[in-house]
Amino acid sequence: MTAWRIDGHAWLYNLLRNRLHSLLLLACTVAIPALAEWLLWGRDGLLVLVPAVFLVLLIGVRISPRLVMRFYRARPLSPFEAPQLYRLVEELAIRAELEQIPALYLLQTPMVNAFAVGDSRDAAVAVTSGLLQTLDQRELAGVLAHEISHIRNRDLRLMALAGWSEQITGLLAGLGLLLVLFNLPRALAGQVQINWTALSLLLAAPYLSTLLQRGLSRVREFDADLTAVMLTGDPEGLARALARLEWRERSFWRRMLGPAPGDLPYLLRTHPPTEERIRRLSEVSCPGRIGGRIVHPA
CA dist 37 and 47 (Å) reads: 10
CA dist 202 and 168 (Å) reads: 12
Question: Which residue is catalytic, options 37, 139, 147, 166?
Answer: 147
Cβ neighbours of residue 286 under 8 Å, at least 6 residues apart? 4, 5, 7
Cβ neighbours of residue 262 under 8 Å, at least 6 residues apart? none
Torsion 239-82-111-125 (CA) sign: negative
Contact by Cβ (8 Å): 274, 243: yes
147 classed as catalytic: yes
CA dist 90 and 70 (Å) reads: 22
CA dist 41 and 176 (Å) reads: 10
- Concatenating the DSSP letter of every residue in 101-146 gives PPEEEEE--SS--EEEEE-SSSEEEEEEHHHHHH--HHHHHHHHHH
Number of residues in the chain: 298
> Residue 258: left (phi > 0), alpha (psi -120 to 50), or beta?
left
Quick check: helix, strand or coil at residue 157?
Answer: helix
Q: Which residues are catalytic?
A: 147
